[in-house]
Structure 1
């Protein structure tokens, strides 16, 4: 397998899952800040021009979209225990991943990091960032409210939901420097203690 990633991007969650699985894989960095995602070589891999993308082998089959990749890794590696075995539990895991990738990521953080995508006028960028920060507080509040497990998000235990939550927690706590709600913060700190998380952060050159 080969993971196309950018250090500190949402692909960090998939990187963690690969480390949890423990099977051989390669890392192929994509320099997003330099626009490498739009270069022909990467567009040939992922026409969507974003990360993560996972080459699963077997003739160069590439999966895109965080939720799809996470679900595939869990299903293809059941021994790693990355997803609940019951249908409702799996649906809850996917539900959490989708909330992270479809709501928290774009509306709390892409708005902060790239306000030009949401406001055409530069003078409106500070308001866009302010709204994004308010969104982050609101969305993490929702996660706190619907928390169903103990240390991990789901009562069935550690899953793909935890790896997804970690990358937005990391952005909020480390990149933005804002506090997390109590349960979410406890989860963030527990994730930082997992060997797979430590290895992924080290490989991406990110502080713990």
Structure 2
């Protein structure tokens, strides 16, 4: 398999999942800021121009964080990263989707790229303020609805934790935000995992 990633992007969560699974894969550095996702070679793989992009062993390409996380968990049951029952799977994907679709796309997208939401530079501070508020609310919502113990699901560590990790990483390491105590403790537990440490080292984030 090949994972196309941009250092520190949301693809970090998929990178962690692959490290947890332990199957051989190649991590292909594709920096967003250097235009790597707009090259003809990358566009031939994923015309959406986004990471994560996963090329599987049969040559087929899978895109979108939630789909990749689900497939990796389901295709590698021995890793224990996806609950076996439909209810557990739904709860895992519920968290993955909220991390990627709400905390990331509604909150951090405003913090990272104000021009996408307001062409006028005069409005950019307001956009950043909205982004910070939306991200903080998202983390508070996760904290309030937490059903697990050390990990996001009662059944234990899963793809949901990897999805939460990349937005927690952005909050703490990129934006200097404070997380709710439960999520701060979760972030610290994630940092202690060897798979997370390997992913961070590969991406130059350790």
TM-score range (shorter-chain normalised) is over 0.9
SS at match of 1:186: helix
For residues 136 and 167 of structure 1, what CA distance do their matches in structure 2 show?
A: 13
Q: Does 1:15 align with 2:15?
A: yes
Counterpart residue number, 1:6:
6
Counterpart residue number, 1:28:
28
Work out the number of aligned pairs and report it.
Answer: 206
The list of structure 1 runs, each at least 4 consecutive aligned residues, that deviate by more than 2 angstroms after superposition, is none
SS at match of 1:28: strand
Per the TM alignment, residue 29 of structure 1 is displaced from its structure 2 partner at its CA by: 1.2
What's the Cα RMSD here? 0.7
For residues 196 and 95 of structure 1, what CA distance do their matches in structure 2 show?
A: 23
Matches within 5 A, 1:99-110: 99-110=98-109
Per the TM alignment, residue 200 of structure 1 is displaced from its structure 2 partner at its CA by: 0.4
Which structure 1 segments of 5+ residues have no match? none
Counterpart residue number, 1:55:
55
Q: What is the TM-score of this pair, normalised by structure 1? A: 0.98
For residues 50 and 2 of structure 1, what CA distance do their matches in structure 2 show?
A: 14
For residues 64 and 149 of structure 2, what CA distance do their matches in structure 1 show?
A: 28
Per the TM alignment, residue 147 of structure 1 is displaced from its structure 2 partner at its CA by: 0.5
Which structure 2 segments of 5+ residues have no match? none
Counterpart residue number, 2:92:
93
Q: What is the TM-score of this pair, normalised by structure 2? A: 0.99
